[in-house]
Structure 1
Amino acid sequence: MKIIVFLFISFLRTVLSSSPSPKYDSIFSFGDSLADTGNFLLTGALAFPVIGQLPYGETFFHHATGRCCDGRLVLDFIAEAYGLPYIPPYLALAKGGKFEHGVNFAVAGATALDAKFFYDRKIGQILWTNDSLSVQLGWFNKLKSTLCSSKQDCANYFKRSLFLVGEIGGNDYNYPFFVGGTIKQLKAIVTGVVETIAAATSLLIEEGAVELIVPGNLPIGCNAVYLTLFRTPNKAAYDQNGCLKAYNGFSKYHNSQLKLALEKLRQKYPHAKISYADYYGAAMRFIHAPQHYGFSEGTSMACCGGGGPYNFNNSARCGHTGSKACLDPKSFANWDGVHLTEAAYRHIAMGLINGPFSTPPLTFTPIKLI
């Protein structure tokens, strides 16, 4: 019996030592400021964008990178977990960027719907960028020809790639909300936003993607910008965490519609693995118990801002004159009133990679637990 056990253990050691550890070879990312690692800056969309200056980037990189954060994003933590370098922005290609481990097409301010949708409704002038999801897919198609030459070649290349379709869609609601749109009015466009995200996911699968993560929206009712703009003396408008119930309800509505759309895609493409990333649930975990996750300053107060009850002041936003950053960003979940801190993004990434906020779970075990 001991000999059999010894032989079995020896066999396992031989198999494990001879087989490479399975992992993703590359990551392709689409989305908005929650995922942008520099594309927005490289478009030259603004003469002096504050995200290109400190305090943005101060925590980890110690210089501004074009990320709307003090440090790393969910995408960065996923890359780290699977032993990959940080995924470079697509627009760095012209500057000699290296793309063997994937490309990031996300652009801060991007929408799922094309910019024309917003211009037709007379609010296009407030868009940060016209590089919507369809533009990013166009970039992907342009780059694809340099990665693989045939459908089979692409299938072989992409089968070990992870595709992140978002987060995208949040700005489709932010822009109208910030100029006076109502929840009822915005609910009317949710179907269009979700269909656009689903269509992009479908297109990527047709191009050879087999493993995709599609994130839902964050709980916007807990964000400093919403808490500031839509502040009300009506205590019944807030939940036990101090978040605006109606706006969180809107996020949940978008997410429920997105999950239904992804289920239809799973039926259409049974060979593909389409995971829904529950950003909402992952964030609510630390919003509900901030101290448990190291956020001694709570989760509604922005680290970097120009004052006000939530330290968000639209006339003195983070990086602008009149604002200043907190001394310890890791004790805050909210970075600049709109975006989260590296510490918050890390907890969300952990929830996706280690569970339980990615449904179904990711295929490969991370090389490095984050």
Structure 2
Amino acid sequence: MNASENYDGVIFSVARSPVLDINFFMKRATRMENSFLFLGDIEANDIGYALTQGKSIEEVQTYVPLITRAQIRVARELIRMGATRLIIPGNAPLGCFPYILTALHSNNSRDYDELGCLKSVNDLIVSKNDYLQQAIRDLNLEFPNIIINYGAIYDGTLEVIRDASYGPNGELALLACCGTGGKYNYDSKRFCGSPQVPVCRYPNQYIFWDGIHFTHHAYSRIETILIEPALRTLGCTRSVNSTTSNLSASV
């Protein structure tokens, strides 16, 4: 767990983090009351890696209730610690990600949508996101005095991909910036950071950094699409510290 120096953000960006320090939030209960919390996209690995390891769409669909219950449990625990405003995001359109497109490549053009994304995978994600939204509605009934919103990362990501696809660098929309080989510049055996794996010269022209994660520029665009409207519904305002560009929201 890494917190920014002025404690206006926290990111869990360590693969397979085994234990999170729950005391971090408990000690900041008062701050949580006056801020909004954005729960990270915690289930992408459960779905994405299962698919790349040969699990069928039908089998992965059975994981959805378990994944959703875990997300709701996290939200409920944070509310009991003092959180009053939460955004629980859905999943991004994994069928557009280079690592999924590479692993589940199909020679049938009908398996892809107009953007070049795998329809079956994105249909799974839409179904999963619908399930989560119902769970959020139920959670709102459980905590009527708490603001709990759904974060439409799926829609925001598709908007960014669509804009890029029809832009001057449309051929880069589904390619990894840092990678090598194949149609999508992604090779799971020669991952970004491996010896002799190049990095693109202009990352801001790409949506995907390493085939699994977005570039900083793409994250910024998705954040603008997703967070700006949410701040209004959460009754928050944006404040930007002069020494950091991290988002901080308070009443």
Residue 347 of structure 1 aligns to a residue whose secondary structure is helix
Q: State the Cα distance separating 1:294 from its structure 2 match.
A: 7.3
2:235 maps to 1:363: yes
Match of 1:104 in 2: 10
2:86 maps to 1:205: no
Cα distance, 1:164–1:295 mapped onto 2, change above 3 Å = farther
Does the 8 Å contact 1:164/1:213 carry over to 2? yes
Map residues 1-370 of structure 1 onto 2, 5 A cutoff: 39=1, 89=2, 98=5, 101-102=7-8, 104=10, 106-109=12-15, 129=16, 131=18, 135-136=19-20, 139-140=21-22, 142-144=23-25, 146-147=27-28, 154=29, 156-290=30-164, 296-355=170-229, 358=230, 361-367=233-239
* Per-residue Cα deviation, 1:264-314 (whole angstroms, up to 9, x for no partner): 111111111112111100011121221667755432011110121100011
Two-structure CA RMSD over aligned residues (Å): 2.4
Q: For 2:72 and 2:40, how far apart are their aligned partners in 1?
A: 11
Residue 211 of structure 2 aligns to a residue whose secondary structure is coil
Cα distance, 1:145–1:252 mapped onto 2, change above 3 Å = closer
Query: What is the TM-score with the length of structure 2 in the denominator?
Result: 0.88
Does the 8 Å contact 1:218/1:279 carry over to 2? yes
Q: Which amino acid aligns with 2:113?
A: D
Cα distance, 1:214–1:161 mapped onto 2, change above 3 Å = same
Q: For 1:312 and 1:144, how far apart are their aligned partners in 2?
A: 37
Q: Which amino acid aligns with 2:195?
A: T
The count of residues paired between Structure 1 and Structure 2 equals: 242
Percent identity over the alignment is 27
Q: For 1:288 and 1:214, how far apart are their aligned partners in 2?
A: 24
Q: State the Cα distance separating 1:203 from its structure 2 match.
A: 1.1
Q: For 1:337 and 1:181, how far apart are their aligned partners in 2?
A: 20
Structure 2 unmatched ranges of 5 or more: none
Cα distance, 1:162–1:292 mapped onto 2, change above 3 Å = farther
Which structure's CA Rg is the greater one? Answer: 1
Cα distance, 1:145–1:354 mapped onto 2, change above 3 Å = closer
Q: For 1:229 and 1:295, how far apart are their aligned partners in 2?
A: 24
